[in-house]
Amino acid sequence: MGSGAHGSTFGGNPVSCAAALATLDLVEREYLPNVGRVAPYLMAGVARLAERFDVIGDVRGKGLMVGIEFVKNRASREPHPDLVHELVQRAFAKGLLLLSAGKSSLRLAPPLVVGTADIDIALRIIGETLAELVPSGA
């Protein structure tokens, strides 16, 4: 091997290892229990949005990662990419950063430290924005 072919500036550094271990401790002790508390709250809130808006064709997820599929019609399940694009743009203008996933889905992936107050704000913005885009709820 030539010079520089194998090396690492921070690999094995005692300070970096201590920081990594402290981070893992926080994740295991605080953040994962928080996910167990707030993930059902998030999923229930998204389910309420699906009851209000027929353009939500499916909701699925695990933990804090939730996918919301948007359709033009629940019977035909035709994807609704224009709605997702507009929803992402308008929600951003209201202070909520959303991620589209695929052609017509939205991915909710909040940080592990998220609380129910933050979830309420996000769901309120999504609901308000959907009401602007599909006033009839359809």
Query: What pLDDT was estimated at residue 136?
Result: 75
In a structure prediction context, what are the per-residue pLDDT tens digits for the chain, which is 138 residues long? 566 666 666 667 788 889 999 999 999 999 999 999 999 999 999 999 999 999 999 999 999 999 999 999 898 999 999 999 999 999 999 999 999 998 899 999 999 999 999 999 999 999 999 999 997 766
Helix, strand, or coil (residue 29): helix
For the chain, how far is it from start to end, CA to CA, in angstroms? 64
Rg (CA), the chain: 20
Query: What pLDDT was estimated at residue 4?
Result: 61
Query: What pLDDT was estimated at residue 135?
Result: 77
Q: Is 107 left (phi over 0), alpha (psi -120 to 50) or beta?
A: beta
Query: What pLDDT was estimated at residue 14?
Result: 85
Query: What pLDDT was estimated at residue 127?
Result: 97
The residues spanned by each domain of the chain are: 14-133
Kindly report the pTM of this predicted structure.
0.84
Distance separating alpha carbons of residues 84 and 72, to the nearest angstrom: 11
- Could you tell me the fold of the domain covering 14-133? Aspartate Aminotransferase, domain 1 (3.90.1150)
Distance separating alpha carbons of residues 103 and 76, to the nearest angstrom: 16
